[in-house]
């Protein structure tokens, strides 16, 4: 728990936010400022800023989170026609919250094809 971190406060329930999904490793919430028809955030419960700061165990846990995400995305978010996952890392990418999180965007065709 980082006292100054907005996502830690969401995870701890200090800020009331509807959790669409929660288990021992992560929560899924709606993004407060959606950039797509569906825009949610998968947030690991442990606080670390970026992939570069992750411990080996946190990396294993992130793997488990990715393994679970397709099920949550299909059955909780209802995205049956594809989606995009984004992890912004640092200033150039536009990262604004320095608690690692995975954007889940979907519910529409995406016109920005970076790769
Ligand atoms: P980043 O730019 O760091 O990759 O993404 C941070 C995301 O968190 C942004 O899309 C922003 O809209 C979202 N966000 C910031 N504060 C809050 C909040 O208090 N609640 C929720 N649900 N999302 C937030
Ligand atoms: Zn945090």
What radius of gyration do the chain's Cα atoms show? 14
pLDDT of residue 114: 67
Angstrom distance (rounded) from CA 107 to CA 115: 20
- The answer, yes or no, to whether any atom of ligand 1 lies below 6 A from the CB of 88, is yes
The per-residue pLDDT for range 29-58, each reduced to its tens digit, is: 999 999 999 999 999 999 999 999 999 999
Question: Token digits for 39?
Answer: 């825009």
The per-residue pLDDT for range 71-90, each reduced to its tens digit, is: 999 999 999 999 999 999 99
- The answer, yes or no, to whether any atom of ligand 1 lies below 6 A from the CB of 58, is no
pTM exceeds 0.85 for this model = yes
pLDDT of residue 12: 96
- The answer, yes or no, to whether any atom of ligand 1 lies below 6 A from the CB of 29, is yes
Mutate to test the pocket of ligand 1, among 13, 20, 33 (most ligand atoms within 8 A of CB): 33
Counting Cα atoms < 13 Å in the Cβ hemisphere of 2 gives 14
Angstrom distance (rounded) from CA 34 to CA 37: 7
CA trace torsion 96, 86, 3, 18 (10° rounding): 110
């Amino acid at each position: 728990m980082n006292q100054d971190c907005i996502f830690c406060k969401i995870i701890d329930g200090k800020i009331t936010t509807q959790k669409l999904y929660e288990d021992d490793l992560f929560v899924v919430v709606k993004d407060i400022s959606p950039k797509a028809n569906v825009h949610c955030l998968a947030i690991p419960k442990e606080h670390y800023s970026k992939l570069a700061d992750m411990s080996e165990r946190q990396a294993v846990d992130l793997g488990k989170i990715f393994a679970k995400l397709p099920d949550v995305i299909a059955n909780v978010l209802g995205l049956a026609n594809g989606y995009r996952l984004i992890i912004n890392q640092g200033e150039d990418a536009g990262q604004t919250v320095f608690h690692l999180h995975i954007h889940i965007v979907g519910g529409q065709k995406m016109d920005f094809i970076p790769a």
